[in-house]
Chain A
């Protein structure tokens, strides 16, 4: 079993225009283990993606206080690629496009980066694995032969993120709005992919705006984030409650002084 702990995490971004740091996360605490699925919900602009990027190690996000521990060891000093090789994975809200590099080639490089130089994955093993994962996601060879995300539709990109997840088999996967832009069939397919990973060696942190995804990937815990903090945690029914009552209701229940983006 592995654990991922976020302790009193404060994260700032630097404003491009005036160069001043702006605090986005203001003390996030969260602990999860493999074999658990956690969901994070919260209004736009509260820092959900920021949390995911800070865990992955995106250098645009500066940790000013607190810690992130994987199996008890701080990973704050580690560069992105080392965090990934230790078992972290982030399915991004906006994946980059890379022309000239095929999906297949990229996934092989990713898998091989976790293996010794003299023990790279045999081509046949790789192809077999790829085919079985493509089947789970109703994907074709055609997409895997294409250049990485180049010209992919929004939904195709999301599906491709999950294909990578299944190929790489990380310990912890953070899925940032993996459901946005998916039609209902694709949503089921993607959920099937994530569920196929569930087990003793896998945990996931799912960022979403819609309770619907959580019908397909049933979480163990649901957290609500507002203004850079987790303000409430509970079981799957917390998501249903939010869907019915919205964030304003919860905020008022908790007597929080937070302005929601869409409030007039």
Chain B
């Protein structure tokens, strides 16, 4: 019989917590979560079966030595982490003076215990949401805390680079907490990439975004985890009154990944745009649930997901738009489209609308299709070969999300990532 998680891992988790010099409250969160994880079940995804991925079996929490990779972001405000180590971080003086905090999650627990205890897995995602969120809290071994105090508007973007290292045997259990207090503005971009080879690892990543009243948060992510990394990726946010929280996510991983994205529109008049592009290649499986719930009156929630499936891979988009009773005057729209480039590819786009209020607008569009033949013919009639033409048509198909990313150089790197993955998938 398999030992209980708590019996099996209590000592590892405790000693890791001590090695990081964590405050008692967080050590308690770890052990409580470990205990609860036992009872909680895996999150359920419509039409995705990932039980055999064993995301609920923790690997090692502590790494031996991490290698250096040359991945430092070219930005003024950034944080760069490899595995559980923070390599470097920088914040403009002016922002530090105003009280903006950008630091690794362990320092945050020690230096800002009040903020952390107030916001960490209490408002957006709870340790009790499912087995994997509980394991995230219990086995946490890296992460970032970003805090923007009331009234501060940050004009330059804040960029994070997280390297998940497969040259060592270590899970990547990562947590990002972003708190944008009232009347703030921030643009954040994270890169999640694998480096190294030799080991197969798991990643469990939870991102929480709190967009308080009248704040504007723009969150972009470029995900490129390798085929040796099996991942649970949870990125969710909540909004205060008249807040705006936008997501642009490039899902370009090479391994098996399930993603759980979305926003709870709590505050009146708040608005979220959740845009996801995904490409799957090889034999990988990627499944994405994007869920937006309108709680506040006059809230707007839009989901746009575009994906391309090559070779023998599988991509599933579930889009859930939910308007609860009382959210009068709200709007829930979603569009999920996938293109299949091979007969062996499998794809699904499942729109789900749950409407419990009358005075609302809602709609959905979903399709699973093939590359537009007229467009292919047109491009090829100018001499462009079939594969290049295909990549151009696909780029066009994905452009509605690409164009959403605010920084030009980030758009360019997403375009490059798309190109790379498509070239690989066309072989």
Among A79, A84, A85, A100, contact of B395 (Cβ-Cβ < 8 Å): A100
> Known: A81-B389, A100-B396, A101-B395. Contact between A168 and B383, CB under 8 A?
yes
- Can you list, as one digit per residue, whether each of A39-67 has a CB less than 8 Å from chain B (1) or not (0)? 00000000000000000111100000000
Decide: B383 and A100 in contact? CB cutoff 8 A: no
A256 interface contact, C-beta 8 A: no
C-alpha gap A78/B379 in the complex (Å): 16
Among A81, A89, A105, A168, contact of B385 (Cβ-Cβ < 8 Å): A81
Decide: B397 and A56 in contact? CB cutoff 8 A: no
Decide: B381 and A84 in contact? CB cutoff 8 A: yes
A211 interface contact, C-beta 8 A: no
Decide: B377 and A100 in contact? CB cutoff 8 A: no
Among A97, A105, A113, contact of B383 (Cβ-Cβ < 8 Å): A113
Instruction: Determine the chain A residues whose CB is within 8 A of the CB of B385 once the complex forms.
Output: 81, 113
A106 interface contact, C-beta 8 A: yes
Decide: B381 and A98 in contact? CB cutoff 8 A: no
Decide: B384 and A110 in contact? CB cutoff 8 A: yes
> Known: A100-B399, A106-B392. Contact between A84 and B375, CB under 8 A?
no
Decide: B388 and A99 in contact? CB cutoff 8 A: no
C-alpha gap A85/B374 in the complex (Å): 19
Instruction: Determine the chain A residues whose CB is within 8 A of the CB of B384 once the complex forms.
Output: 81, 84, 109-110, 113
C-alpha gap A12/B384 in the complex (Å): 26
C-alpha gap A59/B400 in the complex (Å): 30
Decide: B383 and A110 in contact? CB cutoff 8 A: yes
- Can you list, as one digit per residue, whether each of B372-412 has a CB less than 8 Å from chain A (1) or not (0)? 10110111111111101100110111111011000000000
A69 interface contact, C-beta 8 A: no
C-alpha gap A95/B381 in the complex (Å): 11
Among B382, B392, B397, B399, contact of A84 (Cβ-Cβ < 8 Å): B382
Decide: A96 and B382 in contact? CB cutoff 8 A: no
Instruction: Determine the chain A residues whose CB is within 8 A of the CB of B389 once the complex forms.
Output: 81
Question: Is chain B's interface secondary structure helix, strand, loop, or mixed overall?
Answer: helix
A121 interface contact, C-beta 8 A: no
> Known: A109-B388, A109-B392. Contact between A81 and B399, CB under 8 A?
no
B135-193 residues with Cβ-Cβ distance < 8 A to A are: none
C-alpha gap A85/B382 in the complex (Å): 8
C-alpha gap A147/B374 in the complex (Å): 16
C-alpha gap A59/B374 in the complex (Å): 11
Q: Which of B384, B385, B393, B397 has the most CB of A within 10 A?
A: B384
Q: Which of B385, B386, B398, B400 has the most CB of A within 10 A?
A: B385
A171-208 residues with Cβ-Cβ distance < 8 A to B are: none
The tally of residues in A whose CB lies under 8 Å from a CB in B reads 28
> Known: A81-B386, A109-B388. Contact between A101 and B381, CB under 8 A?
no
**A32 shortest CB reach to chain B, Å:** 19
Decide: A85 and B383 in contact? CB cutoff 8 A: yes
Instruction: Determine the chain A residues whose CB is within 8 A of the CB of B374 once the complex forms.
Output: 96
Question: Is chain A's interface secondary structure helix, strand, loop, or mixed overall?
Answer: mixed
> Known: A58-B377, A80-B377. Contact between A98 and B382, CB under 8 A?
no
A114 interface contact, C-beta 8 A: yes
Instruction: Determine the chain A residues whose CB is within 8 A of the CB of B377 once the complex forms.
Output: 58-59, 80, 96
A164 interface contact, C-beta 8 A: yes
C-alpha gap A84/B376 in the complex (Å): 13
C-alpha gap A98/B397 in the complex (Å): 9
C-alpha gap A99/B378 in the complex (Å): 13
Instruction: Determine the chain B residues whose CB is within 8 A of the CB of A58 once the complex forms.
Output: 377
Q: Which of A59, A80, A89 has the most CB of B within 10 A?
A: A80
C-alpha gap A105/B375 in the complex (Å): 15
Decide: B375 and A106 in contact? CB cutoff 8 A: no
C-alpha gap A116/B304 in the complex (Å): 39
C-alpha gap A95/B382 in the complex (Å): 12
Q: For residue A110, which residue of chain B has the nearest CB?
A: B382
Instruction: Determine the chain A residues whose CB is within 8 A of the CB of B399 once the complex forms.
Output: 99-101, 147
C-alpha gap A113/B402 in the complex (Å): 25
Q: For residue B397, which residue of chain A has the nearest CB?
A: A100
A37 interface contact, C-beta 8 A: no
C-alpha gap A105/B384 in the complex (Å): 12
C-alpha gap A84/B388 in the complex (Å): 15
C-alpha gap A113/B381 in the complex (Å): 11
A248 interface contact, C-beta 8 A: no
A6 interface contact, C-beta 8 A: no
A92 interface contact, C-beta 8 A: yes
**A9 shortest CB reach to chain B, Å:** 19
Decide: B381 and A80 in contact? CB cutoff 8 A: yes
C-alpha gap A258/B386 in the complex (Å): 40
C-alpha gap A59/B392 in the complex (Å): 20
Instruction: Determine the chain A residues whose CB is within 8 A of the CB of B381 once the complex forms.
Output: 56-57, 80-81, 84, 89-90, 92
Among A80, A98, A105, contact of B380 (Cβ-Cβ < 8 Å): A80
C-alpha gap A89/B381 in the complex (Å): 7
Decide: A101 and B392 in contact? CB cutoff 8 A: yes
C-alpha gap A164/B382 in the complex (Å): 8
Decide: B395 and A95 in contact? CB cutoff 8 A: no
Among B393, B398, B403, contact of A98 (Cβ-Cβ < 8 Å): B393
Among A85, A90, A106, contact of B379 (Cβ-Cβ < 8 Å): A106
Decide: A96 and B375 in contact? CB cutoff 8 A: yes
Decide: A100 and B398 in contact? CB cutoff 8 A: yes
12 contacts between A and B (CB under 8 A): A81-B383, A84-B380, A89-B382, A90-B381, A96-B377, A99-B400, A101-B396, A105-B392, A109-B388, A113-B383, A113-B385, A164-B382
Binding site for B on A (CB under 8 A): 56-59, 79-81, 84-85, 89-90, 92, 95-101, 105-106, 109-110, 113-114, 147, 164, 168
Extra inter-chain contacts (9) besides given A81-B384, A106-B392, CB under 8 Å? A80-B381, A81-B385, A81-B389, A89-B382, A98-B379, A100-B397, A106-B382, A110-B384, A113-B384
Binding site for A on B (CB under 8 A): 372, 374-375, 377-386, 388-389, 392-393, 395-400, 402-403
| 10 closest cross-chain pairs (CB), A and B | A100-B399, A100-B396, A84-B383, A96-B378, A110-B382, A81-B380, A113-B383, A80-B380, A85-B383, A96-B374
